[in-house]
Amino acid sequence: MPTEYAITYSCENKYENKVRGAHWQFLIIPQTNSSQEVLSIEFTNSLLEAESYSINGLGFKTIRLKTRKSFKSARFRAKMRVLKSEVNPFDFPLENNAEESYKELKSLNFRVDHEAFLKKTDLTTLPENSTSLWSLDTSQTVFTNLQNLNKLVNAYLTFQPSTTTASSTLEEVLAKRNGVCQDFAHLFCALARMNGIPSRYVSGFLHQGSGYFGDSQMHAWSEAFIPKIGWVGFDPCNDLLAGTDYIKVSHGKDYRDCAPIRGVLFTTGKNETIYTVQVEGDQQ
């Protein structure tokens, strides 16, 4: 039975000095794919400027806004309705021949095709003393290995809001052994890629009525590519596979590809940004 989700994304920016013009891009619109459909979008802002919509370089829909007004604070709100089909995260054919899967992972054609999600980034680079945290057990299937990786990351890090930032490296995260969902996703991606499994960072919304870990902002998880199966979503923050409660917005190499808001502002001094997200579900 499909579920209709009502999502409210709110953002308030406060600036130390007056801003004299700005451009913003919001990457917060849920993707329309085989399991979810966007029914409506309503976007408002305190500057009373008209928004426009465009597709970014990775193929995801964005909201764009610009102003020439002067201001010291700005508020934005998006209300979206999404219809999500029931998702069984285990609904795919199991690997019949693990040896063939590992052979494909090592093939040149495969590595060229998935090069973007096999590369390290600044946010998915492991410190030298952590490269042995996890390695493939080729006596098991790729999927079973990734389930084990999901569990390992979940156990290795402790969910602790306000201990890391969007720019925290894995060296910083692993020194503390705590963080938020994006840190769990970055560590999963780093270890999967180091072992030759393409993995991408996913940004979206999580219906937390089911008692999942997350935060009051957007949620992050990972997708890994398994030969003969395709992309499968793993949430190491909750040690789960991504199912019906996961509403995808975008994917990329790391957080920077999926940042929910980007901006160019003509001002000086400090600024503060406060986000809140509310997701409510109603079965149809």
Q: For residues 23-46, give the mean pLDDT.
A: 97
Residue ranges in 213-258 assigned as alpha helix (H): 255-258
Q: Can you spell out the DSSP letters for 13-52? A: EEEEEEEEEEEEEE--SPPPBTTEEEEEEEEEETT-PPPE
List phi, psi (to 5°) of 238: -120, 0
Q: Is the pLDDT of residue 213 over 70?
A: no
Q: Which of 32-41, 121-130, 156-165, 214-223 has the lowest mean pLDDT?
A: 214-223
More confident call, 212 vs 281: 281
Q: What domains, with CATH codes, occur in the chain?
A: 3-84+259-283 (2.60.40.2250), 98-258 (3.10.620.30)
pLDDT of residue 3: 92
Q: Which residue has the tokens 């705590």?
A: 178
Provide the pLDDT confidence category of residue 192 given band limits of 50, 70 and 90: very high
Q: Is the pLDDT of residue 216 over 70?
A: no
pLDDT of residue 221: 98
Provide the pLDDT confidence category of residue 1 given band limits of 50, 70 and 90: confident
Q: Can you spell out the DSSP letters for 90-157? A: T-SPPPS-HHHHHHHHHSHHHHHHTGGGTS--GGGPPPGGGTTS----TTS-HHHHHHHHHHHHHHHS
pLDDT in tens, 99-136: 999 999 999 999 999 999 999 999 999 999 998 999 99
H/E stretch holding 69: strand 61-84
Q: For residues 226-255, give the mean pLDDT.
A: 96
pLDDT of residue 215: 52
pLDDT of residue 210: 58
Q: Is the pLDDT of residue 250 over 70?
A: yes
Q: Is the pLDDT of residue 23 over 60?
A: yes
pLDDT of residue 197: 98
Per DSSP, which regions of 154-229 are E strands?
Answer: 158-159, 178-179, 199-206, 219-226
Average pLDDT, whole number, for the chain?
94
